[in-house]
A and B are shown apart, each in its own frame.
Chain A
Amino acid sequence: MNISKQFDRQTLLLRISGELDMQTSETLRQTIDSEIERRGIRQVMLNLKDVSFIDSSGLGVILGRYKKLTALGGALVITNAQPHVLKIMELSGLAKIIRFYTDETLAFEEGRGAS
């Protein structure tokens, strides 16, 4: 798994590629948690375009970060999820909690419009 980081104003954009399982999602957890603690990041956007696989461990880490960020008054949104990744997120109920966007631009526009 690979994570590329980009900052756009107050938002941390993470473009993830590879598979999100128990092994790899730990890296994602540490990446987001350290940005929350060190840089005070509160808005996180996860671009899952190149995520080819996710299981309940990966979903658990995403849900955990979502809960942590919302508790701090922030947000976590997901963009570009592939159909089978979206399917598992819908089945888990995650798609009812977390906001999904088809692409980054839409997510940014809505994020700015709301603030």
Chain B
Amino acid sequence: MNPNQIELSFSSRAENLSAARMVIASVGSQADLMLNDIEDLKVGVSEAVTNAIVHGYQNDPDGVVALMIQSDEDKIQIIVRDQGCGIADIELAMQPSFSSDPERMGLGFVFMKSFMDELTVDSQLNEGTTVTLVKYLQHPPSSH
């Protein structure tokens, strides 16, 4: 069986963050995840989408953010893609407190790493950034 898929495209506006979190929370709850794990997924999506809006599109509300979720019995994979400015130095961007804005903590990638099991970032300058997040599902041992 192919993994279940959901794909959602939305304008790069902060008001869409809650919709993105709602979708991942729904997928998480259908996968029978514990509440804590669902919270982790919500943080991961929120950080990735915020990065796309703030950094990818530099707060331009007319960009398009794509959120793709694939889930099977082993894992939930989340892909957040923007077609914004891209990241010049991914390693540097992933350092804690990299953010140049004092109002921002620069912890987006740190949180994605901490709350998810895998984090992959692909980026091309002036073409966009794709962030892939994976959460593995831990099933209780089978009784068979």
Binding site for B on A (CB under 8 A): 19, 21-23, 26, 29, 53, 55-57, 59-61, 63-64, 84, 88, 91-92
Contacts and interface: CB of A to CB of B under 8 A. Distances in A.
27 contacts: A19-B18, A21-B14, A21-B17, A21-B21, A21-B46, A22-B14, A22-B53, A22-B54, A23-B14, A23-B15, A53-B21, A55-B43, A55-B46, A56-B47, A56-B107, A56-B111, A57-B50, A59-B107, A60-B103, A60-B105, A63-B105, A64-B102, A84-B35, A84-B39, A88-B111, A91-B111, A92-B111
B13 to A, nearest CB: 8
Nearest to A18: B18
B28 interface: no
Nearest to A94: B105
A56 B113 CA distance: 13
- A-B pairs with the 9 shortest C-beta distances? A23-B14, A56-B107, A55-B46, A60-B105, A84-B39, A22-B14, A60-B104, A21-B17, A64-B103
Given A60-B104, A64-B102, A64-B103, 19 more contacts: A22-B53, A22-B54, A23-B18, A29-B103, A53-B39, A55-B43, A55-B50, A56-B105, A56-B106, A56-B108, A56-B110, A56-B111, A59-B105, A59-B107, A60-B105, A84-B36, A91-B111, A92-B105, A92-B107
A114 to B, nearest CB: 28
